[in-house]
Amino acid sequence: MTRSPRRALAALCAATALALTAPLAATAPAAAAPATTTATHYSGTLPDGATWIADKPARWNGVLLLFSHGFGPLTAADAPSDAAKAELLAEGYALAGSSYDPNGSAWALKSAEQDQYATITAFGSTAGRPAHVVTVGASMGGLVNARIARDGAGRVDGALNLCGLVAGGVDLEDYQLDAEYTLAWFFDRADLPLLVDLPSQAAAAALADRLTAAVNAAQQTPAGRARIALAAAYLNQSAWAPNQAPPAPADYAGQQAQQYQWLQQGVLNFIVPGRYAVEQSAGGNPSSTRGVDYAAVLNKSWHADEVRALYAAAGLDLNADTAALTAGATITGSATARANLTASSTVSSLGVPMLSLHTTSDQLVPVEQENAYAARIQAAGRGDLLRQAYVARQGHCNFTTAEIVAGLHALEQRLVTGSWGTATTPGALQSRAVALHLDGAAFTGWTPSPLTGVR
């Protein structure tokens, strides 16, 4: 017997919930009536110009889900998808979220956390004060959410992260630059001086187009494929692409083909313009190649065996190539920009419980980011607050509604009982998700490899 999902935090809204000793299957208080999909929509503007929106169901369970959206247009959103929104409203949750400050960079980490807190206040004043707040974040919004989960104890109760960029902006910029530098070094030397300090969004988009065209041409030869694999290793690029079966562990040609598929489908067209936004926010280029030992970086990558095999098949000298990359690495970042980005976009502790979900093949926010984040949380002595779970699927933020809702309910068990128990095991999450009879689930056991390129 399991608790109705509509009532998952209803017990937490009652004083007796704090003393629960029974598992989550305990009956919810009678006051938590079934919700309807009828909802009232709210919107407003915050002092910095950010907009906020909210939706409150007619039969509200007292819980506000505060959603932090990902990188892209600075438009307010209050749910990760329309389908998830409909299900969560039907279960009685209110939803809210802000655009973040629209006057700055799309990498809105300077304003997002405070705008989200202000949204809670605005919701309380307009729609009614929530009994509890659970935060949800996706992609860059997962980094926003990690900041809230670090700082927000007393204002929020717990955090659900979806495909979160939890390793932070500094690591992201470093390993992406390693990959872009490698591609330019081998296939597009004219662009080597243009990889950082990007002058405009248009210039960044044009650079991405040139690098992608160079990759497409290089893919036609064994040597080109080997060197693309080297860059993909630095990028932490997944080797399981859309509409493909995952390649076997020793199918190195198949792994490279699927990494190339991701690149050919536009990874560079996302991350290079993204660098422009990050540099805007940081006040300059935060990353350097100077002083990086590219052989050592490769040796720490779980793609190293693939790269070595493809280099051997192509008759190339891998040691010579990594030595050339190391010797030619002359990009020097701004110490001030790096300090600014570290302050806004690196998180190393937790203040409230967090469940972080990730697909095992994420082309934009590699699942290895979870490894780096967990290490930092453990080092801060807060590992008891963090649980991570994985979905066997390709694509960035490619979750079903059932997986999102099951993750939320598992987090709620931790909030209600004070213990994670077995709620976040793959089997428990899969059972929860399937029992919702929505759109399926693929939770799996997974241990992410270390994130390549961490300085």
d(CA 430, CA 419): 19
pLDDT value of residue 1:
29
pLDDT value of residue 13:
41
pLDDT value of residue 403:
98
CA 2 to chain centre: 30
For residue 81, what is the DSSP state? -
The pLDDT-based confidence of 262 (bands split at 50, 70, 90) is very high
- DSSP strands (E only) in 261-328: none
Closest CA to 94 of 79, 116, 112: 79
pLDDT value of residue 12:
40
d(CA 87, CA 73): 25
d(CA 263, CA 235): 11
Q: Given a cut of 70, is residue 247 above it in pLDDT?
A: yes
Burial 5-37 (b: 16+ CB within 10 A, else e): bbbbbbbbbeeebeebeebbeeebeeebeebee
CA 344 to chain centre: 16
pLDDT tens digits, 325-342: 999 999 999 999 999 999
pLDDT tens digits, 172-210: 999 999 999 999 999 999 999 999 999 999 999 999 999
Question: Angle, nearest 10°, between helix axes 140-151 and 112-126?
Answer: 70
d(CA 202, CA 253): 34
pLDDT value of residue 218:
98
The answer to whether 338 touches 356, Cβ cutoff 8 Å, is: no
> What is the domain partition of the chain in residue ranges?
5-168+347-444, 169-340
Helix (H) or strand (E) holding 389: strand 386-394
First to last CA, the chain: 49
Determine the average pLDDT of the residues in 395-415: 98
The pLDDT-based confidence of 382 (bands split at 50, 70, 90) is very high
Q: Given a cut of 80, is residue 15 above it in pLDDT?
A: no
Q: Which amino acid is at 104?
A: G
In the chain, what's the furthest Cα-to-Cα distance? 72
The pLDDT-based confidence of 27 (bands split at 50, 70, 90) is very low
pLDDT tens digits, 38-48: 999 999 999 99
pLDDT value of residue 7:
40
Q: Which amino acid is at 435?
A: A
pLDDT value of residue 36:
45
Closest CA to 337 of 158, 196, 181, 150: 196
Helix (H, G, I), strand (E, B) or coil at 41: strand
Class of domain 5-168+347-444: alpha beta
d(CA 329, CA 308): 21
Q: What is the share, in percent, of the chain residues with pLDDT greater than 90?
A: 92
The answer to whether 438 touches 407, Cβ cutoff 8 Å, is: no
pLDDT value of residue 59:
97
Structure tokens, 44: 């407003």
d(CA 369, CA 275): 18
Determine the average pLDDT of the residues in 370-378: 98
Determine the average pLDDT of the residues in 398-426: 98
- As a whole number, the mean pLDDT across the chain is 93
pLDDT value of residue 9:
45
